[in-house]
Structure formats: C-alpha cells, structure tokens
Amino acid sequence: MKFTFKPMTLLAVLTLSLSLASCSSTKKKEVNDNQTMESVGADASALELNADSDSGKAGPIKTVFFGFNSSVLSTSARETLNANAEFLKANPSVEIQVEGHCDERGGVQYNLALGERRAVAVKDHLVAMGVNSSRISTISFGKERPVAFGHDESAWASNRRGNFIITAK
C-alpha cells in the first residue's frame, strides 16, 4: 500500500506537529525581582557574580537603608539583614561585599568615613546572625556612587544605603 501526501496535507501535518511540540509540559524556571527567598529555594545557583542588590540582581539579598548622618540600623534594616543572613547561612559558598554609601551632603572625607561605618554595621549584624565574617568584605564609596540624582529628601534617602555585591557563589 502506497501513501501519497498532497502539499497541503503535508503542511497541515507539519504545522500540527510543531504546535504540539511547542505545548510541551516543561516549564522554564524564571527568577525575578519580586520573588522571595522561599521561591528561589534558598539556592545560590541562580546568582550571578558581581550582581548587586541595588539593581535587584542579587537574588533575595536586599539593600538596606540608613537615616541621615547615621550608621544605626533601623528596625526595617535589621529585618532585611535577618532575611539576608538566612539566605547566606543556607548558602555557605556565597561571599559578599558590603558597600557603604551616603547622600550628597557633607564633605568627601566625612562621607567616606560614614559609609565605612555603615558597611561595618551591616557586616557586624550579619556576623551576629551567624554568617562567617570571612565571607563578608566591606568598602565605602561615600557620596561617589549615587543611585538617585535628585537634590531632595527622596533622592538622599535612596543614596543612604548598604548595597551588596556577590563576590563568590
């Protein structure tokens, strides 16, 4: 018995085959800025080296913010750091650098010192929560790397921060 296919029949069969193949049940895992540590599964494999928390690319590790002229951790900052510490403890191969930043007010040297106090305050809290200090380095950029360029309280508040960089995963 010999089968012959007309061009239109062949086209219909190919189209149907391709349609069914594209409807497979395999789903790709997507990670976005709104996912929590639980949905990422506390797994560092999705992290990128040199990813940072300011851009939201450091997975569940989030930036913390400070009050004017202060390196004291607010309740909100401590809560964020507690979640960051849980992720770091669950992923012992991840190493981070904490960057201390300031707003545009104040002199260069003053803001470098304040940024250093902020970075150290963040590191000290993470260490107190059980993260090995050898996994955390600190640096201050003072007012040299703002994320907001306005000259008002909203911009200044965004720039008074502790940013995290993934240095090893």
CA 106: distance to chain centroid?
28
**Domain-located, residue 22:** no
d(CA 72, CA 156): 16
List of E strands, the chain: 64-65, 95-101, 136-142, 161-168
Give residue-wise pLDDT tens across range 125-155.
Answer: 999 999 999 999 999 999 999 999 999 999 9
CATH number for 72: 3.30.1330.60
* Model confidence pLDDT, tens digit, residues 120-131: 999 999 999 999
Q: How confident is the model at residue 44 (pLDDT cuts 50, 70, 90)?
A: confident
Rounded Cα distance between 119 and 76, Å, is: 16
Q: Residue 15: inside a domain, yes or no?
A: no
Residue 5 lies in a domain: no
Structural domain harbouring 107: 46-168
Q: Is residue 30 part of a domain?
A: no
Q: Could you tell me the strand order of the sheet in which 161-168 lies? A: 64-65, 161-168, 95-101, 136-142
State how many domains the chain has: 1
